Amino acid sequence: MIRPKLQQRFAATIVALSALMSTAVLAPAGAEDLFYDTVDVRVVNVDVTVTGEDGQPVADLGPDDFELLVDGRVVEISNFSATQGGIPVEGVSTLPATAERGAVDGPTPAPPAATDRLDLVILVDDVHLSARNRNPMLQDLRRHLVQELEDGDRVLVARLNDELRIEQPLTGDLDKVLETLEGLEKQVGRSLTLETAYRTLIRSMEMTRLAGTAVGGQIPTGNSRDADLTAGMADAEAGMIENLARQREGLGRFALDALRSFVDTLAGVKGRKALIYVGDGISSSPAESLVQAWQQKYEAWIIAEERGDLEGVMAHLISLDVDLTKELDDLYEYAASGGVAIYPVSSGSRLARAAGPADTSGSFYDDGRGPNSGTVTTLERFSTETTLLRMADETGGRAFTHSPNLGDVLGQVKQDFATFYSLGWSPDRETVDPLDVEVRVRRPGANVRYARSLLAKDPLDRLQDLTLSALHHGIEDNPLRVRLDAGPQESGVEGRVQVSMMVTIPFENLLLLPGTDHHSGRVSVFVIVRDEGSRGVSPFHHIELPLKVPNDRLVEVLSQSAAYPVNLQMTPGRKRISVGVRDHLARTDATLSVEIDVDAGTLARRSTP
């Protein structure tokens, strides 16, 4: 049941819509083509940070000091702007007057990138973060946030463990952020299990004594640990290596999928975004260091003892197809294309510390061969830190590893977002795949950082990004004064509930072009739903609304609203529904969200203009 007043209001809206249909036509998709066309002038911007050899920003560059290449081809820099100390520099911006067909007020310059605010995202990766160092890092982060954040800055806190969960939505309330981080200190992450397994396996290989025929007189022989026992241990450890490598690969894929989906939700957050990734890195080769440890321990012994039964085991280990390089590359591209600069923060490889010092009695050959834990963990550290360095380099951020000072990290983020250049070009097409970007600076000794991949998205792709950000992060921008109201709920199929929603847009906020008989316009609408219990997200519901208003009824219609009913089939429970609307002629986007209890009909928060 729905509340009587709401039901009356919803029914009145339907009546008003019926009356409106006789004057203003909301034509269905595929109706007669309109007499006008629109072409959005897309300007893709890449923000560039330039520092000198002393690490300080270089602030006196102009457009002629830069060369921009896209997919290896030099392109014209059509837009250029500079920002110093958070303030746009007057006299250096270039915004060409590029007209769009369908505009009625003459040429409209393409807008510069939004740069007036820092949105800081803190992501704690408890799948790949040392339990030993996580709390000191979180405490340090809390202390420095108090010192570095300014009025207008916003922070989001997310945690990756069994799922990627937003612990604190984007907010300018520093007290809420600090409280959330303090709460995370009381939790334990999944990384502890892997650390223990890794340490146990390395220790096992270190303690296993090699028995049998001496190699160069250096391999000890003995009665209790004969060749068969050594071979049995080698075979068992090989099985444990494969099992642990598969576990690490699975957790790595899970983490990268979650991170990529999370970055997708940030693409619609306007302005620049900095993501502080608190974690020790995801190894691109989860088996490599363990396989090398096993080889160092047993390869020479296998050859000397002519253990054919273990040669196949060794060949199998070496050929293990456990690699996350492609998934990591995809994450870098997604983040860069979404305008998310990543600043990884790590205190060094968790597994390097996990191996730790051990009693290596009997573990090594006297000539230095064997599972030297220093060599193994150096390889592990190299693999994980390489991913952190690339994560920063590909997205325009900067990596801080080996016991970083988090005050330096936040200071670097503030500096990067306060002083930078924005280079723009007009692509001749939309792209499905990211474009490779290269920026060259004609200044000796200059160091340049920027996102290496960007997407030239069409307006509807951008509207989907905005709607997704409204759904997940509560970010709303509603210049069109769109409303989204819930109406009657009825039993649906397979235990679902059909909920009638109404999207309404005041005609006075829409741009209509005059024609011989009609004023015409065009609106696109996206609707998406999230289940607040399972956190599952529905596919987008897409509506195209060409509008036609008879000229002799224009004044009357401008006092009314365009309305469109949307029927949604949903499971019972708490839902968050977000809508994105684009007026194509005005090139204006609007987003908003509501929350409802499905099968109760209670609108928790009614949308307001």
Of 250-259, 322-331, 372-381, 551-560, the least confident: 372-381
Q: To the nearest 5 percent, what fractions of the chain are helix, strand and coil?
A: 35, 25, 35
| Average confidence (pLDDT) over 77-98 | 73
Instruction: Tell me the two tokens of residue 392.
Output: 């920063």
Q: Do 260 and 334 contact (CB within 8 A), yes or no? A: yes
Parallel, antiparallel, or unpaired for β 340-345 and 272-278? parallel
Parallel, antiparallel, or unpaired for β 272-278 and 118-125? parallel
Band of the pLDDT at 493, cuts 50, 70, 90?
confident
Residue with tokens 């979404």: 338
Q: What is the pLDDT of residues 301-310, one digit of tens each?
A: 888 888 888 9
Identify the DSSP state of 400.
B
Contacts 24+ apart (CB under 8 A), 429-437: 429/456, 430/42, 430/456, 430/457, 430/458, 430/461, 431/455, 431/456, 431/457, 434/333, 434/336, 434/337, 435/44, 435/70, 435/71, 436/70, 436/71, 436/72, 437/46, 437/68, 437/69, 437/70
pTM of the model: 0.80
Q: Which residue has the higher pLDDT, 364 or 566?
A: 566
According to the model, what pLDDT value does residue 372 have? 54
Q: What is the DSSP string of 432-451?
A: SSPEEEEEEE-STT-EEE-B
- 106 pLDDT higher than 50: no
| Cα separations in angstroms, 388 against 52, 246, 250, 383, 563 | 23, 21, 19, 9, 49
Band of the pLDDT at 14, cuts 50, 70, 90?
very low
| Average confidence (pLDDT) over 162-174 | 91
- 360 pLDDT higher than 60: no
DSSP H or E run through 83: strand 79-84
